[in-house]
Chains A and B, each alone.
Chain A
């Protein structure tokens, strides 16, 4: 692997992250006096506010404050949540696996389903299936994912109650073993994962479709057909592997949408991830928590982009020779 190329990518990612830190710092200090947000006590005396300023290092010059902020952040000290009075990082740490589970399930299903739909549509171009898939993907692009989520609850949790309407496990149940607990979580995951899948599906499908259309018109496909290889073998053995590559790129572009979807979908389903933390922080004006979740969302998207870049590097030999 080209070490210089990798160093460049990592450097760019770190620089982007550094800008997030600068942005976060100035945003929350520049647009509003942090002491009024920190105090939260309606009748704080001037002395108490002075004490708070000293406690939080707000009496130092801005550069010193920024150094403190960067130092704290690098040691995972993200402050105290104003809502729960718990350390922000503790809450975020507990929330990350749940968000990864939801996002991972959604991305996996959207990739598989989108790739399959794309292959089918491209091989049946212009036919009714193709038009139907195109219409469906446009609809899922335009429809808000939280609206779809609410309808899923109304239909599959209330009208025909086959799935739970929210949360990650059935409350108050003692599980005899980890397997039954895993099944319970999976049961709760179904509806939010469907909402996440539908959020991503349209783009994955459109990319896979156009990529397949490109590959199917290439000469080597015609040659393979001329050798008498059955059509389905030409598609599965030769066209699909070549058309899969752009999915990696689109996955990277979609990470931002995934983060946004996590906020709304977790809100709808009371899924205890980063998105629900953000939503609670919005309602309670819990600025340290909002700052923390924004930082972690951004870091996650930057990291995911970096991984996608590296994956692309390994998968496409043409990039390496450039």
Chain B
């Protein structure tokens, strides 16, 4: 991702600047959030469901904990799960796409059927079933999201490899007696990498949304606060009927902003990889 065009896309468009700055903000929050939190996020007090005040800038929860502190501490789970799950998904998707597209034949038929299956099966119900059986924890969350989100990447990488396979430099290498492993490693994979990267950034957004949804349904890591568990607690404690907007709005808004910033960057990388897309999508707003 070097060159003037990449710089232009990242820093020259409002989408690039928005994506980079918001994501940077949330990554800093994930690293330093719990350190700069004004209160212990888990500490309860007698100030239950209090609206924002000078002591509690974003009010308090049903157990009297500080909403702002929980919000700052919760960034870590979103960022960690989002990126870790996306990496697992990228590895599986890239491997399936590479082998499926490169070898063809029965390898392709079986891997493609597997890919199709994961594309069709509703993802959230599948994640729910898997995480309930495996018992929720941080690792299970990452694993479950990672192994259910790769089908799109697999499909895109496969079609890219199908065209790469017919290119002259691959045929030349094959004619010179290069092994499959060598061709994949030096010709196919490096050429598919930008596409895999762009797709993985988009999967980060999906993974962050999935983590929040699973946590909201009570399938998050029970030992740690995340924005999804905050919404779960807020809903279970009757925050909507108490009109406790200060408890409901911040976690959802953080999820929305971080997903938006990652998605913006993902679309930009996709346009960088595939300039044809630029004409179709958002050029009018760039």
Q: Does A pair with B?
A: yes
A298 within 8 A of B: yes
C-alpha gap A157/B238 in the complex (Å): 13
**Contact mask A166-201 → B, CB, 8 Å, 1/0?**
000000000000000000000000000000000000
B121 within 8 A of A: yes
**Contact mask B217-240 → A, CB, 8 Å, 1/0?**
111000000000001001100011
Contact between A16 and B256, CB atoms less than 8 A apart: no
| Minimum distance in angstroms from A123 CB to a CB of chain B | 13
| Minimum distance in angstroms from B15 CB to a CB of chain A | 10
Partner of A256, one of B123, B212, B243, B282: B123
How many residue pairs bridge A and B at CB < 8 Å? 145
Contact between A282 and B128, CB atoms less than 8 A apart: yes
Most buried by B among A16, A130, A291, A293: A16
B124 within 8 A of A: yes
Partner of B234, one of A28, A150, A157, A165: A150
Contact between A267 and B240, CB atoms less than 8 A apart: no
A260 within 8 A of B: yes
- Residue of B whose beta carbon sits closest to that of A267: B217
C-alpha gap A148/B241 in the complex (Å): 15
C-alpha gap A278/B183 in the complex (Å): 47
**Contact mask A70-86 → B, CB, 8 Å, 1/0?**
00000000000000000
Contact between A151 and B125, CB atoms less than 8 A apart: no
Chain B residues near A278: list those with CB within 8 A.
Answer: 125, 128
**Contact mask A122-143 → B, CB, 8 Å, 1/0?**
0001100011001100110111
Contact between B133 and A143, CB atoms less than 8 A apart: no
Known: A16-B120, A283-B218. A144 touches B212 (CB 8 A): yes
Contact between B282 and A134, CB atoms less than 8 A apart: yes
Contact between A260 and B122, CB atoms less than 8 A apart: yes
A27 within 8 A of B: yes
C-alpha gap A282/B213 in the complex (Å): 13
Partner of A260, one of B213, B241, B248, B252: B213
- Residue of A whose beta carbon sits closest to that of B124: A260
Question: Which bucket holds chain B's interface residue count?
Answer: 35 or more
Question: Which bucket holds chain A's interface residue count?
Answer: 35 or more
Contact between B213 and A146, CB atoms less than 8 A apart: yes
Partner of B260, one of A16, A131, A139, A165: A139
| Minimum distance in angstroms from B25 CB to a CB of chain A | 15
**Docked complex: B185-237 residues within 8 A CB-CB of A:** 205, 209, 212-213, 216-219, 231, 234-235
Chain A residues near B120: list those with CB within 8 A.
Answer: 16, 256, 301-302, 305
The 8 A-B pairs of least Cβ separation, nearest first, read A260-B124, A147-B252, A259-B122, A126-B284, A142-B259, A256-B122, A142-B260, A153-B240
24 contacts between A and B (CB under 8 A): A31-B134, A32-B133, A134-B284, A144-B209, A144-B213, A144-B231, A144-B252, A146-B216, A147-B231, A147-B248, A153-B240, A158-B243, A165-B240, A165-B241, A256-B121, A256-B124, A260-B122, A260-B124, A281-B132, A285-B132, A290-B129, A297-B122, A298-B122, A305-B120
- 19 A-B pairs besides A142-B255, A148-B252, A278-B128 with CB distance below 8 A are A125-B284, A134-B285, A138-B263, A139-B260, A143-B256, A144-B256, A147-B231, A147-B248, A147-B255, A147-B256, A150-B234, A150-B240, A150-B248, A158-B241, A258-B122, A264-B216, A282-B128, A290-B129, A294-B125
